[in-house]
Amino acid sequence: MVDFSLTDEQQDLRELAHDFASKEIRPVAAQLDRDAAWPQAIIDKAHEVGLMNTHIPARYGGPGLNCFEGCLIEEELSWGCSGVQTTLGANGLASAPVMLGGSEEVKREFGEQLMASPRLASFCLTEPDAGSDVAAMRTRAVRRGDGYLLNGSKCFITNGSYADWFVVYAKTDPEAGQRGISAFLVRRDGSVVVDKKEDKMGQRASNTATITFNDTEVDARYLLGEENKGFRLAMMVLDRTRPGVAAMATGIARAAFEHATEYSKQRVQFGVPIATHQAIGFMIADMATKVHLSRLATWNSAVVLDQGARNTLESAHAKRFAADSAMEVATDAVQIYGGYGFIKDYPVEKLMRDAKIMQLYEGTSQIQRLVIARETLAPRGSETPAAPTA
Ligand SMILES: Cc1cc2nc3c(=O)[nH]c(=O)nc-3n(C[C@H](O)[C@H](O)[C@H](O)COP(=O)(O)OP(=O)(O)OC[C@H]3O[C@@H](n4cnc5c(N)ncnc54)[C@H](O)[C@@H]3O)c2cc1C
C-alpha cells in the first residue's frame, strides 16, 4: 500500500526540526551568511537535542533513524538555512562509509565519539583534478608496516577546518583506475594541514576547505571495506546520502516559495496585489508543483533504500530534480520580488545563491543524468549489493 502519512514519532521529529530551524537557525541565518561565520552555538544545540548524527545506530548510542526520517529533518533544517544544515549534516556523509565498511570495533569507537560530544567528521573524495572523475584522484596510500602512509590533497571539504576525523579516499593501486581506490578513516593529527578556507557564493555558514595529508600514518584497522574497493563504497554512500541532499533542496525551494507567495499577496502594482496578475499566479503554481514533486521524489528515494533495495536510480532522480527545481524556484522568487529580490535586505537572494550548490555537490546535475541514463538504458536490478565490510 502506498501511504504518505507520517507516524506520530515522525511528526514529532519533523516538528522538533522545524522549531529548531525557526528559533535557532532563521534568526541568525542572514548574519551567518554575511559574515561567513562558523555556527558553533547551533552545532552545540543541535547535538544536544539530537538533530545531528541521526543515522548512527542505537547500538553505538545514536538515534538510529532511517533515511526517510533523516530527510524529514534535513528539509526542515535546510528551510532554516541550508548552509547550517550542510554543517550539521556532514557527519552523516562521513559516517556512512564507516558504518558500511568499518569493523565492529571501529564503528563503535567512531559512533560513540560522535554521540558523546559535538565532534565533526569530513568526507574527503574530491581533489583539484578529480571532481566528477573520481578515478583521476592522486592521493596515495602506501602500505607501511602495520598500516598505511597517506599523502595528497583534498579540496572543497565540508567542515574540513574543524573535523576531528576524515574519511579519505586514496589510490592503493595507482594503475588500476577506479579499482585501485581504498577508503580510510583518519584522525586529525599534526600531519593534517588545512591549506585554504574557501570564500563561497552561498552556504556561507558552512566551512569548505582544502586539506593536505603529509605522511599521515593510518592504522590498518581503519581501512574501510576491502583494499581497492573504495570506489564502490563511495558510490554506495552517495546512494544513501543523495536523498538527504534532495530533501535539503526541497527545503530551500519551500522557503523561497513561501517568501514569494507572501510577498505576491502584499505587493500592489496597477492597483492590485501582484498575485492576482496571472503571470505571477502561474509562477507561484509552478513553484508549488516543483516543491511538491521534489518532496515526493525525495521520499520515494529514501523509502526504497529503507525497504532494503538499491536506490541508485531513485536517488539520482530525486537529487537531480530537487536540485534543479530549487535553483528554478529560488530564481523565480527573486523575479517575484522584482528589484527588491536583488537586494540583500530581502531573504530570497540568499536562497538563490544557496540553491546553486545543490546542482553541484554530491554529483552535479549532469552526473545525476549520467547515472539516470545508465540505470535506464542498462538496468542493474534493485537488490542491494552487500556492504564491503572489512
Ligand atoms: C561548497 C562545496 C562543498 C563540497 N563538499 C565536499 C565534501 O565534503 N567532500 C568532497 O569530497 N567533495 C565536496 N565538494 C566537491 C563537489 O562534490 C565537487 O565540486 C563536484 O563533485 C564537482 O566536481 P568539480 O567541482 O571538480 O567539477 P568538474 O567535475 O570539473 O565538473 C565541471 C563541469 O563539467 C561537468 N561534467 C564533468 N564531467 C562530465 C561528464 N562526464 N558529462 C557531463 N558533464 C560533465 C560537471 O557537471 C560540471 O558542470 C564540495 C563542493 C563545494 C563547492
324 has a pLDDT exceeding 80: yes
Q: What is the pLDDT of residue 382?
A: 66
319 has a pLDDT exceeding 90: yes
- When pLDDT is averaged across residues 257-272 and rounded to a whole number, the result is 98
Q: What is the pLDDT of residue 389?
A: 46
Mean residue pLDDT across the chain: 97
- The answer for residues whose C-beta is within 8 angstroms of residue 49's C-beta and 6 or more apart is 16, 20
CA 1 to chain centre: 30
- When pLDDT is averaged across residues 33-62 and rounded to a whole number, the result is 98
For the CA of 122, the closest atom of ligand 1 is 8
Reduced to 3 states (helix: H, G, I; strand: E, B; else coil), residue 158 is: strand
CA 132 to ligand 1 center in whole angstroms: 5
Q: Which of 364, 370, 374, when mutated, tests ligand 1's pocket best, judged by the most ligand atoms within 8 Å of its CB?
A: 364
Residue having the nearest C-alpha atom to atom 16 of ligand 1: 361
Q: What is the pLDDT of residue 79?
A: 98
CA 344 to ligand 1 center in whole angstroms: 28
Q: What is the pLDDT of residue 2?
A: 80
- When pLDDT is averaged across residues 122-147 and rounded to a whole number, the result is 97
- Residue 42 φ then ψ, to 5°: -70, -40
CA 49 to ligand 1 center in whole angstroms: 33
Residues 244, 301 contacting (CB under 8 angstroms): no
CA 360 to ligand 1 center in whole angstroms: 6
Q: What is the pLDDT of residue 379?
A: 87
In the chain, % of residues over pLDDT 70: 97
CA 171 to ligand 1 center in whole angstroms: 19
Q: What is the pLDDT of residue 386?
A: 57
Q: Which of 208, 360, 368, when mutated, tests ligand 1's pocket best, judged by the most ligand atoms within 8 Å of its CB?
A: 360
Residue having the nearest C-alpha atom to atom 6 of ligand 1: 157
What is the distance between the alpha carbons of residues 12 and 78, in angstroms, rounded to a whole number? 17
What is the distance between the alpha carbons of residues 307 and 304, in angstroms, rounded to a whole number? 5
Query: Catalytic site residue 217?
Result: no
327 is written with which cell numbers? Answer: 535553483
- With a Cβ cut-off of 6 Å, ligand 1 is lined by 122-126, 131-132, 156-158, 200, 203, 208, 357, 360-362, 364, 366-367, 370
Residue having the nearest C-alpha atom to atom 7 of ligand 1: 157
Predicted confidence (pLDDT) per residue in 347-373, tens digit: 999 999 999 999 999 999 999 999 999
Beta bridge partners of 147: 144, 219
- When pLDDT is averaged across residues 312-322 and rounded to a whole number, the result is 98
Q: What is the pLDDT of residue 390?
A: 41
1 has a pLDDT exceeding 90: no
Residues 156, 233 contacting (CB under 8 angstroms): no
For the CA of 90, the closest atom of ligand 1 is 8
- In order, the DSSP letters of 178-235 are GGGEEEEEEE--TTEEEEEE---SS-TTS-EEEEEEEEEEEEGGGEESSTT-HHHHHH
69, 127, 362, 383: which is the annotated catalytic residue?
362
Q: Does pTM top 0.95 for this prediction?
A: yes
383 has a pLDDT exceeding 70: no
The band of 205, judged by pLDDT with boundaries at 50, 70 and 90, is: very high
Predicted confidence (pLDDT) per residue in 140-152, tens digit: 999 999 999 999 9
What is the distance between the alpha carbons of residues 313 and 304, in angstroms, rounded to a whole number? 10
Whole-angstrom CA distances from 174 to 137, 180, 296, 372 are 9, 6, 41, 29
CB-side neighbour CA atoms (13 Å) of 196:
9
Beta bridge partners of 185: 167
Long-range contacts, stretch 266-270, CB < 8 angstroms, 24+ apart? 267/338
5 has a pLDDT exceeding 90: yes
Tell me how many degrees the CA angle 304-307-313 measures, rounded to the nearest 5.
20
With CA atoms as reference, report the closest residue to 70 among 91, 40, 48, 97.
91
- When pLDDT is averaged across residues 224-243 and rounded to a whole number, the result is 98
Whole-angstrom CA distances from 309 to 113, 302, 346 are 30, 10, 43
Residue having the nearest C-alpha atom to atom 26 of ligand 1: 131
